[in-house]
Amino acid sequence: MQIDSHQHFWKFDPVRDAWIDDAMEVIRKDFLPQDLQPILEKNAIDGCVAVQADQSEEETQFLLNLANKNPFIKGVVGWIDLRASNVEERLASYSNNKLLKGIRHIVQAEPNDFMLGKDFQNGISKLAQFNLTYDILVFPPQLKAAIALVNSFPNQKFVVDHIAKPYIKDEKISNWKDDIMELSKAPNVYCKVSGMVTEADFNNWTPSDFKPYLDVVFEAFGTDRLLYGSDWPVCLLAASYEAQLDIIQDYLTHFSSEDQKKIMGGNALDFYNL
């Protein structure tokens, strides 16, 4: 089974979704299951994981409702306030919904040491009892805090979104590489091969731009801890669904069919318990 482990849905709201500015006009509209399903079918993708884009429980419920109505949405990574004093109660309230697979906070918008806060780490400490994963969304300067986080919670399953957003456009790699290699030493950490095209030059990237970064994450995580994700519809800022998919499929050409199946779906099934 082929799984897109990272995509989003929204009904566009110019106030709530203010991060989608005028330069992102192509995604300033609604993106819903009826828009994605034919794209997945065309590309032989059997299902997907819907990931939060807004930090509210309303967003979590919105995605769960979509998943309940659309069987191709195999799981949801939602949001609850991990810093809240009643975090365990809020997690428990969702515990009967087996479509909720994980939690994410948009840490890339927070200070570099955000994940080291006691209140945030208290929330992280509650996830495993509900069999919930955690998606790490960070920029490269936040990777050192991510390393400290995952080492503090060796029994919690983590996955790094978008290979931690290296500066592909600027061809910067060394500091990011060092931290990725260190992060990958924790066996409880996986990584999504996703979101790369929007870290490159939107209009002038070539497939070869991504190879150095793919080489790093494949060396770091191996073929058992990497998950394919499209980051649709955000990817549309720089590439069609087919174009971003081609990057990883072309890179995988020299891998065994067994390893290809792991990265294109098997690892997502295992990580998120789909």
CB-based contact 72:28 (threshold 8 Å): no
**Which strands sit side by side in the sheet containing 73-78, from one edge to the other?**
3-7, 47-51, 73-78, 100-105, 133-136, 158-160, 189-193, 226-228
* CA proximity to 82, closest of 109, 112, 55: 55
Neighbours of 173 (CB within 10 A): 17
Question: pLDDT at position 139, please?
Answer: 98
- The DSSP element (H or E) to which 249 belongs, if any, is helix 241-251
Give the model's pLDDT for residue 15: 85
Q: Which CATH superfamily is domain 3-272 in?
A: Metal-dependent hydrolases (3.20.20.140)
- Residue 58: the pLDDT is 97
What are the residue boundaries of the structural domains of the chain, listed by start?
Answer: 3-272
d(CA 267, CA 270): 5
Give the pLDDT confidence score for residue 17 in this predicted structure: 86
Instruction: Please list the pLDDT of the chain residue by residue as tens digits (274 residues).
Output: 999 999 999 999 988 888 888 888 999 999 999 999 999 999 999 999 999 999 999 999 999 999 999 999 999 999 999 999 999 999 999 999 999 999 999 999 999 999 999 999 999 999 999 999 999 999 999 999 999 999 999 999 999 999 999 999 999 999 999 999 999 999 999 999 999 999 999 999 999 999 999 999 999 999 999 999 999 999 999 999 999 999 999 999 999 999 999 999 999 999 999 9
pTM for the complete prediction?
Answer: 0.96
Q: Using CA atoms, how far apart are residues 58 and 145, in angstroms rounded to an integer? A: 28
CA–CA separation, 221 vs 243, rounded Å? 24
